[in-house]
Structure 1
Amino acid sequence: MRDKMFTWIQLKICDGRSCRFWTDNWFPMGRVADFMLQGRNTRLGIRKDATLASLCREGQWLIPQARSENQVAVLAFLMSISFTEEEDTNEWVIDGKSSTTYSTGSVYKKLKGETNTLPWTRAVWITGGVPKHSFFAWLVTLNRCPTRDRLRSWGLQSDSVCLLCGDDEESRSHIYFDCIYSWEIWTSLANRFDLMARRNWNESLQQMQSLGGDRIRKRLLLLSWQAVIYWIWSERNSRLHHNSSRSSALLITFIERQVKDKISSYRDGNPALSSSLMQSWFLAFDRVY
């Protein structure tokens, strides 16, 4: 990737003392050695390690007379340079945007190229979310959780009954939210924000990714929805592996507490947002009680 990355790291000429004439990316058309020599085995009498400052004396450039259009272009650009007292600096220039600091995200997106963003990402990778909740919501969206219907499809001997309600075959679509246990939990939180929750998983996901209106309400709903998804699966695993169960009311309490803790965590970085979220959260509870 060296040749590609080279074009994104440009040297901003200031005093010219560290800018290497032949190899640094200071010229708009790229590396001067490639542009000016075009494969010829000569350096026109210019040292390999020559800097721009070393090639300029009292405003005159110590460059041989141009013998090609490319050499003329280099000389013309040199004539436009005005040295300053500051040191030369490297800049990241990606898609026309320059920065003196490195951004992993910008470079990754550039290397990856243009991609289509899936609509469900708006409901999964949310701003300020709980990382483990967002990650698990991603797994559920891709239907990668080992629900009992999937285990049986792999040829494993497994009971097919839902561990939460015991009324139907366990699958992603049943757990979220056809199961009466999970439905009671999700509707309890959704009703506080006057949201008519969807019981079908695909419809629920579509509802979350198309939430509009007030951004505070939207964030609280997404935090709650992801917390519900995470804690329902946690309860399912607790019943499977530890033979212990918790009521839907207790699980709702856990979810409420975790959402409030997440809201409080915004206080240091964005106290205004934290305050607005907390006020809306308590207003939602007042509306119910």
Structure 2
Amino acid sequence: MAACSGITAKFWHDDWTGLGPLIDLTAPLGPQFTGLSLDVVVRDVVIGYTWRFSTSRSKNHIINMLKNILPNPENMIESQHDDSYLWKADHHAPSNIFSAAKTWLALYTFAATVPWNKSVWFKGNFLKHAFISWVVTWNRLHTHDKLRN
């Protein structure tokens, strides 16, 4: 998430600071201590050229942490650009181009290839036979003697 004007970026749930969603940093008590609702957008937390809670004299550690980590809101107020959402998969740089393949690879890890892979899954096989062979290899076929136990 690249928050330019802050009109669409969610204050608690979007990663507009580069530190991850603020709700993850403050825990669920963040909205309670700051008095901000869960669905507030970044622009609504700015009053004038400061953050709504920046003048607070509270000694609460969550408010003090937010004061220290949030960027200067002046750039957002003067920005004419809309907020934009970026995709980030693994350790790659954020991009505005979405790739289902990269997302799949980031979400699911692959196990090592087993030596019998090509014996079961080959071009021209009968899927029913390949599936049964695969189940037998993993010793998961429910045979009559296994069902009795």
Give TM class, smaller chain: 0.5 to 0.7
1:30-49 alignment, distance < 5 Å? 30-36=20-26, 38-40=27-29, 42-49=32-39
- What TM-score do you get using the length of structure 2 for normalisation? 0.60
1:1-289 alignment, distance < 5 Å? 11-36=1-26, 38-40=27-29, 42-63=32-53, 64-65=56-57, 67-81=59-73, 82-83=75-76, 84-94=79-89, 95-113=91-109, 142-143=121-122, 145=124
Amino acid across the alignment from 1:39: P
Q: CA deviation at 1:87?
A: 0.4
Amino acid across the alignment from 2:80: E
The corresponding residue for 1:269 is: none
Task: Determine which structure has the larger helix proportion and give its number.
Answer: 1
Check the 8 A contact 1:15/1:87 in 2, yes or no.
yes
- What TM-score do you get using the length of structure 1 for normalisation? 0.34
Q: CA deviation at 1:69?
A: 4.1
Amino acid across the alignment from 1:17: I
Check the 8 A contact 1:139/1:145 in 2, yes or no.
no
Q: Output the CA distance in 2 between the equivalents of 1:117 and 1:70.
A: 47
Q: CA deviation at 1:104?
A: 0.5
- After superposition, the Cα gap between the structure-2 partners of 1:78 and 1:19, relative to the gap in structure 1 and judged at 3 Å, is same
Q: Output the CA distance in 1 between the equivalents of 2:2 and 2:92.
A: 14
Q: CA deviation at 1:73?
A: 3.2
- After superposition, the Cα gap between the structure-2 partners of 1:43 and 1:111, relative to the gap in structure 1 and judged at 3 Å, is same
Check the 8 A contact 2:17/2:71 in 1, yes or no.
no
Q: Output the CA distance in 2 between the equivalents of 1:77 and 1:23.
A: 16
Amino acid across the alignment from 2:28: G
RMSD: 3.4
Q: CA deviation at 1:39?
A: 3.5
Q: CA deviation at 1:54?
A: 1.7
| Range with greater deviation from structure 2 (69-78 or 14-23) | 69-78
Superimposed CA distance per residue, residues 245-281 of structure 1 (whole angstroms, 9 cap, x where no aligned partner) = xxxxxxxxxxxxxxxxxxxxxxxxxxxxxxxxxxxxx
Q: Output the CA distance in 2 between the equivalents of 1:72 and 1:114.
A: 43
Q: Output the CA distance in 2 between the equivalents of 1:114 and 1:139.
A: 17
**Identity score, percent:** 15
Structure 1: tracts of 5 or more residues without a match: 1-10, 119-137, 155-289
Superimposed CA distance per residue, residues 218-254 of structure 1 (whole angstroms, 9 cap, x where no aligned partner) = xxxxxxxxxxxxxxxxxxxxxxxxxxxxxxxxxxxxx
- After superposition, the Cα gap between the structure-2 partners of 1:39 and 1:45, relative to the gap in structure 1 and judged at 3 Å, is closer
Q: Output the CA distance in 1 between the equivalents of 2:113 and 2:58.
A: 50
